[in-house]
Chains A and B, each alone.
Chain A
């Protein structure tokens, strides 16, 4: 067998390279299984709950760093864009009591809003462009700026630096594009303990 392989240089080359490839592939596959990283699933879960506006109002450079910080034990009430609903979701994830939103980091907007630049008042200073965390403002120096509505996360960060106060936060108009079916009501009484709870609530109400 070996003699035959050596006599056929092309077959020998093919066999050798394919064999080496298979051996290394098997070793790497084994190593991948052995050195598998689980990562920190909690950070990913928290990061998923945060609104991903990357606005930095919490004092961290983005949502992921804040999620890491929460996993290390930071306060969970520093996210104004997420508001109370995000705080409640994180609180239930981490099984801690849900605090009120920390006013220090900003107030929760009543409705989702986007920035609007009154374009004839804009002097083209580019300060709002530098402030925008998601690059939603178009424009150049000494030229009028404008906001890309689809990209704007409504984080308010561009309002403060504008020297001529020409940026307004306008509520998002609800049109056909944004309209969605309302979520179906949560099925009640699927779990036995829920059933007794809602039962006692009804009795209390009655």
Chain B
């Protein structure tokens, strides 16, 4: 039980994929203008991350390591991610057409979200059990969701705020992201 808590805290806060490891910045800037779409994106990415962590663990342990093909990790994990994202796309299109329309191009772009590949590769490099690997994937997704939702809430406020003209738009968003990253660096002292 303690291990579960440690894995979650470490992947959500201490090693947050967006603000500490700087992976997955594209959707972090791209889909954070509206809280509603940010929540949808978070859910979709968390789903993809968890599923990818599981499938890539199985592929790694069942196929790549027995055949001594560790050098094929990157390409086979990319294949896993593409398949999982395609599956997620079909699933969302069926269950929530509105969310599908809101997410638009960012849904297939989860494929190129480097946080997803990052989780798969980092899991492969660590001696983990299947449960822990999928927990890492879920934790990474939860951390991504946390910062994306926080950031989009801030950006909605910023849109209405009185910002000096040179800082309007993307500039103030970048500064905000930097300050959030600084704040998350502070979690490094937690363990």
Given contacts A12-B69, A24-B83, A28-B86, 15 further A-B contacts (CB under 8 A): A13-B69, A13-B72, A16-B63, A16-B72, A17-B72, A19-B63, A20-B59, A20-B76, A27-B83, A28-B83, A28-B87, A31-B87, A35-B94, A36-B94, A37-B94
Which residues in window 51-98 of B have CB below 8 A to A?
59, 63-64, 66-69, 72, 75-76, 79-80, 83, 86-87, 90-91, 93-94, 97
A16's partner among B69, B87, B90 (CB-CB below 8 A) is: B69
> How many residues of A are in contact with the other chain, CB < 8 A?
18
B91's partner among A12, A16, A17, A35 (CB-CB below 8 A) is: A35
B75 to chain A, nearest CB (A): 7
- Assuming A28-B87, A32-B90, A35-B91, is B79 touching A21 (CB within 8 A)? yes
- Assuming A16-B76, A27-B83, is B68 touching A37 (CB within 8 A)? no
Where the two chains meet, the residues of B that have a C-beta atom closer than 8 Å to any C-beta of A are 59, 63-64, 66-69, 72, 75-76, 79-80, 83, 86-87, 90-91, 93-94, 97
Q: List 8 A-B contacts (CB under 8 A).
A: A13-B67, A16-B63, A16-B67, A16-B76, A21-B79, A24-B83, A27-B87, A31-B86
- Contact present for A6 and B59 (CB under 8 Å): no
- Contact present for A31 and B63 (CB under 8 Å): no
A204: interface (CB < 8 Å): no
